Amino acid sequence: MTTDAISVVAGLVPDADGFVRVAIDGVDGAGKTTFADALSARLRSLGRPTVRVSIDDFHQVRRLRHARGVASPEGFWLDSFDLARFRTDVLDGFARTGSGRYSPRAHDLATDRVLRPRWRQAEPCTVLVVDGLFLQRDELRATWDLAVFLDVPFAESCRRMAGSN
């Protein structure tokens, strides 16, 4: 990731009279979280308020996530995330003329507990930056004002996931 890439994407984030929703998508190990964090920092340095959320904090509980089997590709695609809760807890509040009210987490992956954190309030015209897998799927595609897919070579994503950054 280069600061040039961050600056280019920051320049593509639309100006708006309301909230703006940005997706940072890509395969595991693509650098989505790192890129989203850097993009948020760059936007803040430009005077734009941001909120960072990860779809990883909206996993389904294991019982639902693995109902089709732990290694099921169909289950991975269809059952990984609680998209309904993600929509109500995050996306609805950041609609162009939304309330700005959001809850940043719904699930603790380590403990498999459903969470009910306190609601937060975003400033007017905040940019929501979300990182995660499958953010451009049909159910979410129209949600985003800007969507970025990080494309990295398979060998690189594997190396990153193995922890040999």
pLDDT tens for each residue of 19-74: 999 999 998 767 899 999 999 999 999 999 999 999 999 999 999 999 999 999 99
How many CB atoms neighbour CB 91 within 10 A?
Answer: 20
CATH class of the structural domain 17-48+61-161:
alpha beta
Q: Where are the domains of the chain?
A: 17-48+61-161
With cut-offs at 50, 70 and 90, classify the pLDDT of residue 162.
Answer: confident
Q: Does this model's pTM top 0.85?
A: yes
What mean pLDDT do residues 4-27 have? 95
Number of residues written out for the chain: 165
What mean pLDDT do residues 128-136 have? 97
